[in-house]
């Protein structure tokens, strides 16, 4: 899809040079696309780029994958194979072509309902790091959505939540929740129809299926006049918050077009799942959001696990525009309701009478610093040289370093008044 416009800045220089680069891949090894904004591109180079794009298209279209799936599920279990190297469901006529590859045999219906466990997770942190919700978090999210009365979930980059909803719906006729998955991983098109999955890039709001896919999303949001639908998104943590926020606002605008009299919400309800240390960045773009204390954990991430102590706890939280008191967190996991803050907090998050808030972000009990006039992490101490709290063994020299753009102290590059 479309590239993003970046700026290359140099220390002490107010103006940088702007360039276009891939929206999804920050590593040039994954996508070598680079073009200065003011660069004139030759016809030859444009043609080479088109040829490259043509040669890197998926083997099958989404429609072809849907037809292949229909044929696949009709096969007896003994003839159902999945190529692990090509990450592809195989029909008997294709076995010979994959004969020297590793493949799984006797693929069950249960495995087909859980494609995220069949497919290898994409784990390039700079491109599309695919960390998948643990069952505990996935089940909690689904139960919470049902309790809040939502019946449609726009699952943006949350394949495991989507498949849990799909699986329950296929096994229980009374289960009334539906999901539409928007994800950049085209492999899911092998398991879901065009009404269940759209190939989508959340960094530039690009639907690879064009207007037909966009219309699928629009129709999904329009049902019931846009009521009882929520967006749940779990972006790669290395992604640019600004680009993500721009896409999410466009999805919200798509929902807002459905607005009729009697809408319960002014903006589309949303759960943005992201590490707590991005709180200020998210609030820059969505000032009405609040961060919940619930720790989201992942199956295939060594650090993001629930139940560890100290700094080893998962830093991933739920940011939402719903009223915090509505989000009930499980008391059996140590969460409790703070009557002053009117929200559920973790057991270690003690209410600070001076800040008049439950201030901890990471699950540990924070302490109030009178000089900083705020609560800080328990391992931090006030440094008179820096005039703020920091780790005891921090380097004070950093206080002499000014803004990367203008060189002046007191602000970061992103807030530099020299930048337009």
What confidence tens digit (pLDDT) does each residue in 345-355 have? 998 888 988 89
pLDDT for res 143: 96
How, if at all, do strands 316-320 and 270-275 pair?
A: antiparallel
Closest of 359, 357, 398 to residue 375, by C-alpha:
359
Tell which residue, 165, 169, 168, 204, has the closest CA to residue 181: 165
* Domains observed in the chain: 4-56 (no CATH), 62-107 (3.30.160), 135-347 (3.40.50)
Residue 107 neighbours by CB distance under 10 Å: 20
Contact in structure between 35 and 42 (CB atoms under 8 Å): no
CA distance 253 to 267: 9
d(CA 271, CA 365): 25
pLDDT for res 17: 86
Gap between the Cα atoms of 417 and 154, Å rounded: 38
pLDDT at 9: 80
What are 381's two structure tokens? 């101490």
Q: To which residue do tokens 């998926």 refer?
A: 58
Query: How many CB atoms within 10 Å of residue 418?
Result: 13
All residue ranges of the chain with pLDDT < 50 are 125-127, 301-302, 304, 309-310, 399-400, 420
- Interior angle at CA 116, CA 308 and CA 105, nearest 5: 120
Question: Can you give the pLDDT at residue 310?
Answer: 46
Tell me, what's the pLDDT at 113? 92
Q: Say what the pTM is.
A: 0.88
pLDDT at 348: 86
* 84-98 tens-digit pLDDT: 999 999 999 999 999
pLDDT at 51: 92
């Amino acid at each position: 899809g479309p590239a993003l416009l970046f700026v290359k800045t140099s220390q002490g220089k107010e103006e940088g040079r702007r360039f276009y680069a891939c929206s999804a891949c920050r590593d040039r090894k994954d996508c070598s696309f680079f073009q200065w904004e003011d660069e004139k591109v030759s016809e030859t180079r444009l043609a080479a780029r088109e040829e490259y794009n043509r040669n890197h298209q998926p083997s099958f279209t989404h429609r072809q994958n849907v037809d292949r799936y229909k044929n696949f599920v009709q096969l007896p279990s003994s003839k159902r194979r999945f190529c692990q190297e090509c990450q592809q469901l195989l029909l008997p006529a294709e076995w010979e072509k994959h004969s020297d590859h590793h493949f799984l045999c006797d693929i069950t219906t249960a495995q087909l309902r859980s494609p995220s466990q069949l497919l290898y997770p994409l784990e390039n942190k700079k491109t599309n790091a695919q960390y998948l919700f643990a069952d505990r978090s996935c089940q909690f999210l689904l139960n919470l959505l049902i309790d809040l009365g939502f019946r449609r979930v726009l699952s943006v980059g949350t394949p495991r939540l989507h498949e849990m909803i799909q699986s329950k719906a296929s096994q229980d006729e009374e289960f009334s929740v539906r999901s539409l998955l928007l994800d950049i991983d085209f492999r899911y098109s092998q398991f879901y129809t065009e009404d269940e999955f759209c190939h989508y890039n959340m960094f530039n709001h690009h639907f690879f299926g064009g207007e037909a896919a966009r219309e699928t999303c629009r129709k999904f949001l329009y049902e019931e006049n846009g009521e009882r639908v929520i967006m749940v998104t779990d972006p790669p943590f290395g992604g640019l918050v600004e680009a993500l926020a721009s896409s999410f606002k466009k999805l919200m605008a798509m929902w807002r077009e459905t607005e009729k009299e009697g809408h319960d919400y002014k903006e589309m309800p949303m759960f943005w799942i992201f590490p707590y240390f991005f709180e200020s960045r998210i609030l820059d773009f969505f000032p009405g959001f609040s961060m919940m204390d619930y720790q989201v954990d992942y199956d295939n991430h060594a650090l993001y696990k629930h139940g560890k102590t100290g700094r080893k706890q998962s830093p991933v939280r739920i940011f939402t525009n719903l009223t915090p008191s509505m989000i009930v967190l499980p008391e059996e996991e140590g969460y409790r309701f703070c009557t002053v803050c009117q929200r559920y907090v973790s057991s270690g998050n003690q209410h600070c009478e001076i800040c008049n808030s439950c201030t901890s972000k990471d699950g540990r009990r924070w302490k109030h610093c009178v000089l900083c006039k705020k609560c800080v992490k328990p391992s931090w101490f006030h440094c008179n040289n820096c005039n703020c709290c920091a780790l005891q063994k921090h380097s004070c020299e950093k206080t002499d370093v000014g803004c990367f753009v203008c060189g002046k102290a007191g602000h970061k590059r992103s807030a530099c008044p020299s930048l337009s």
